[in-house]
Amino acid sequence: MSLSSHTQILTNFFSSTMVNRMPSLIDEIYEHIKKARKVLRNVVHKTPLDRSGTFTKISGAKNVYLKLENLQKTGSFKPRGAYYKIYNLSPEEKSRGVVAVSSGNHAQGVAYAASIQNVSAKIVMPIFTPISKIIATRSYGAEVILHGLTFDDAAEKAREIIESEGRVLVHPYDDKFIVAGQGTIGLEILEDLKEPDIVVVPIGGGGLISGISIALKKKLKERVRIIGVQTEAYPGVLAKLGMTRFPEKPMSTIADGIAIKTPGELTTRIIGDLVDDIVTVNDDEIAYAIFMLLERAKTVVEGAGAVALAALLAGKIDAKNKNVVTIISGGNIDMTRLIRIINRELVRQRRLIRLTVVMPDMPGSLSRLLDILAQTRINVVDINIDKYSPHVEPQKVEVEIVAEIPISETLEILMSKIEDIGYYVENAEF
């Protein structure tokens, strides 16, 4: 579906729900957002709103700003809502402790928020949760319980804990206090940029975009457009609003932090009331945004944290001559995944090559080849020499080289120089 037709459908939907507006609840949450800003002032960081000249130029915007929640405590925006939720519990509820279900950022946010309020926290995680996330959650003082293969299995265990121990559930998104805590990001944006034209926000369960939308729309009304971004694999909010069908068999996605099939009831209502448009991005577009953020903005971002910028770089948002804020919601990416993304993007951008060269099996042959690579400013990443495989001719040796090249045109120069000394380039691929 084209961006314009998609936007029109959403416009029609939002217009049809005007009669179902919930001003009293939105007003209530807005008051909580203002209160939460004061409560959180010495608890979480006010994260930078960083202007990017690179992304401004690429997108054609007037200015592109990155709201860097990847620099927040625990590496994502989650402590904002978690702390404010626990802060609003009664003394009796706090004495019973809290429980949460998460395999990612929410787990760490709840653990951190509970620890600094001296509240006992149990976090239920599926058994295949990466060990790095388990260790991080435990480091904030929470008890981690590994249970089940899926999120639903873990959620069932959490329900058992609530029934047996009386703990209070800290929901990841469908709670007015959670929404209010996340909404403090919107107030911070307004402190640094009086009138943003467009604010682009990731959508998983909807808590982040709900809070930001309330904070900005109450102040700027229709002068600001709020655009949500979901993955093509998990268009949960779009499906719930009837704008698309949820895939029968959802694919995996590198934006696992927003891979949520069923968004919240409260958050979906707020989104339907206040959000101007929702677009989707695929994993290729997300990977490119992660790579560009690392290379150009010098910042490490996880898949879910990169989707807002991914939508902008993919041309899915009309940013021409606009002040655009993209919410970089988290930076907790697995290092092995980051390495794969970097290498994949280097190949895709024709900056990493695999070269197979056949040359004489005699002293000095390899040295001559390496001299040519150095002269052409080629950086060798890996090299493998094969002289015994049946397909290699006698008195010949096959050298496979993985190398970084400064620009793709360098490959043609390199191949020409190799052939000039009588060697044969059997294969060259990106």
pLDDT score for 2:
41
CATH number at residue 134: 3.40.50.1100
HEC-encoded secondary structure of 278-346: EEEECHHHHHHHHHHHHHHCCCCCCHHHHHHHHHHHCCCCCCECCEEEEEECECCCCHHHHHHHHHHHH
Strands (E), 58-197: 63-68, 98-101, 121-125, 143-146, 168-169
68 in the same domain as 198: yes
In the chain, % of residues over pLDDT 90: 77
205 in the same domain as 268: yes
197 in a domain, yes or no? yes
Q: What is the pLDDT of residues 176-204, one digit of tens each?
A: 999 999 999 999 999 999 999 999 999 99
368 in the same domain as 233: no
249 in the same domain as 384: no
pLDDT score for 250:
66
pLDDT score for 4:
43
**Enclosing domain of residue 134:** 98-166
pLDDT score for 345:
92
Q: Which of 324, 343, 362 is the last residue of a domain?
A: 343
358 in the same domain as 257: no
Interacting residues of 31 by C-beta distance below 8 A, sequence separation 6+: none
| Total tally of structural domains belonging to the chain | 3
Q: Which of 121, 145, 166 is the last residue of a domain?
A: 166
106 in the same domain as 241: no
pLDDT score for 407:
80
367 in the same domain as 339: no
335 in a domain, yes or no? yes
At residue 430 the predicted structure's pLDDT band, cuts being 50, 70 and 90, is: low
Q: Which residues sit opposite 360 in a β-bridge?
A: 396
Cα 148 to Cα 3, 98, 171, 261: the distances in Å are: 40, 20, 19, 18
148 in a domain, yes or no? yes
Q: Which residues sit opposite 18 in a β-bridge?
A: none
CATH number at residue 384: 3.30.70.260
Q: What is the pLDDT of residues 274-292, one digit of tens each?
A: 999 999 999 999 999 999 9
Chain-centroid distance, C-alpha 61? 22
220 in a domain, yes or no? yes
Residue 170 host element (H or E) = none
369 in the same domain as 252: no
- CA–CA gap between residue 422 and residue 430 (Å, rounded): 23
Question: Which residues are annotated as catalytic?
Answer: 78, 329
pLDDT score for 245:
80
Query: In the predicted model, is pLDDT for residue 344 greater than 80?
Result: yes
pLDDT score for 15:
45
At residue 18 the predicted structure's pLDDT band, cuts being 50, 70 and 90, is: very low
Of the listed ranges 16-20, 166-170, 323-327, the least confidently predicted one is 16-20
318 in a domain, yes or no? yes
Query: In the predicted model, is pLDDT for residue 11 greater than 60?
Result: no
Q: What is the pLDDT of residues 68-97, one digit of tens each?
A: 999 999 999 999 999 999 999 999 999 999
278 in the same domain as 187: yes
88 in a domain, yes or no? no
At residue 268 the predicted structure's pLDDT band, cuts being 50, 70 and 90, is: very high
273 in the same domain as 258: yes
The chain-wide mean pLDDT, for the chain, equals 91
- Nearest C-alpha neighbor of 385 from the set 358, 347, 364, 352: 358
Average pLDDT over residues 380-402: 93
Query: In the predicted model, is pLDDT for residue 115 greater than 70?
Result: yes
Cα angle for residues 172, 173, 178 (degrees, 5° grid): 95
pLDDT score for 249:
74
Q: What is the pLDDT of residues 213-239, one digit of tens each?
A: 999 999 999 999 999 999 999 999 999
Q: Which of 166, 193, 217 is the last residue of a domain?
A: 166
264 in a domain, yes or no? yes
357 in the same domain as 338: no
Query: In the predicted model, is pLDDT for residue 10 greater than 80?
Result: no
Of the listed ranges 22-26, 53-57, 342-346, 421-425, the least confidently predicted one is 22-26
388 in the same domain as 244: no
SS3 state at 318? coil
- CA–CA gap between residue 325 and residue 322 (Å, rounded): 10
Question: Higher pLDDT residue, 190 or 378?
Answer: 190
171 in a domain, yes or no? no
